[in-house]
A = this chain, B = another copy of it.
Amino acid sequence: MLISEASIRSGLSADTIRYYEKSGIVPAIDRGADGLRRFSPENVEWLTLLYWLRKTGMSMKDMQCFAALYREGGRTVSERKALLLGHAETLKRKRADLDRCEEVLAEKLAIYDKLEGKHP
């Protein structure tokens, strides 16, 4: 499939996909005779994973590391597992941040409610 479809399916913009390919976190995508990229379902699956990792705050550097391990093959499975488990910890911390922010917002909103009561 072409880049536009890969973009829709993965969630990444076409520009971002090309940028990721340049950066080496996506393997060099096969080209058709016309020079256009042809994405395989595996390519799209990889892009989708990257989409979620990036969306939840993994750095390019870590994704590059992950991609490098992936390229090395089955020998690196446990390292990749560790990396993903590390990211799962990050998710926990992010959730705690959201919780705390929600509290802060609730306090502020309570104050604003009182102010509105006074100046209606």
A residues engaging B (CB < 8 A)? 48-49, 52-53, 55-56, 74, 77-78, 80-81, 84-85, 87-88, 91, 94-95, 97-98, 100-102, 104-105, 108-109, 112-113, 115-116, 119
Contact = CB atoms under 8 A, between A and B. Distances in A.
B115 A74 contact: yes
Contacts of A104: 48-49, 52
Contacts of A49: 104, 108
A98 B102 contact: no
Contacts of A115: 74, 77
A29 to B, nearest CB: 21
Given A81-B112, A81-B116, A112-B81, A53 B88 contact: no
Contact of A77 (B80, B84, B102, B119): B119
Nearest to A114: B77
7 contacts: A52-B101, A55-B97, A77-B115, A81-B113, A84-B105, A94-B98, A95-B98
A53 B105 CA distance: 9
